[in-house]
Amino acid sequence: MAAPDIKINNLVKLNALLLLSKRKIHGYEIIKALQHNLGTRISASQVYPFLGILKRKGYIDHSKTDKRDKKEYSLTAAGKEFMRRITARLASVIDLAIMSAIKTCAHCNCEVYKGGYEKRIRDKLLYFCCRNCARSYRG
Ligand SMILES: [Zn+2]
């Protein structure tokens, strides 16, 4: 798989791309959504230069208008292909993140992603899917 030719090395860029892949969107809407999604203040200088790069690469296009903030951006066909490559790479990162979050119940061996039950038994912190398994454990 060819490496994407723009480095998507931060959450602002990744999130902006995901927003662009959903629908036509104004620059200020991207900033607002990023602030909401990332829970931090996002400045125009974190978004518009990146949009400029995407535009020069031919990955996004925008409606014609002379006011910058009134432009509605959307992914081009090349942009969608770019996103496909990004998400394919991302999938392996997400797999890793999920895998590292999965724990195995010390009693029944089932895999638990969320919830579960921790109990210290003979100085060892063990992980169980539920209280019943913790109670039944005879390690
Ligand atoms: Zn269990």
Mean pLDDT of 104-127: 92
Q: Give pLDDT, residue 68.
A: 57
Each residue of 6-50: pLDDT tens digit? Answer: 888 888 999 999 999 999 999 999 999 999 999 999 999 999 999
Q: What is the CATH number of domain 11-100?
A: 1.10.10.10
Mean pLDDT of 120-127: 91
Please tell me the distance between residue 106's alpha carbon and the centre of ligand 1 in angstroms.
Answer: 7
Do 20 and 60 form a contact (C-beta atoms < 8 A)? yes
Please tell me the distance between residue 115's alpha carbon and the centre of ligand 1 in angstroms.
Answer: 12
Please tell me the distance between residue 128's alpha carbon and the centre of ligand 1 in angstroms.
Answer: 5
Instruction: Return the number of other C-beta atoms located less than 10 Å from residue 19's C-beta.
Output: 16
C-alpha 124 chain-centroid distance: 34
Please tell me the distance between residue 48's alpha carbon and the centre of ligand 1 in angstroms.
Answer: 50
pLDDT tier for residue 66 given thresholds of 50, 70 and 90: low
pLDDT at 51 over 70: yes
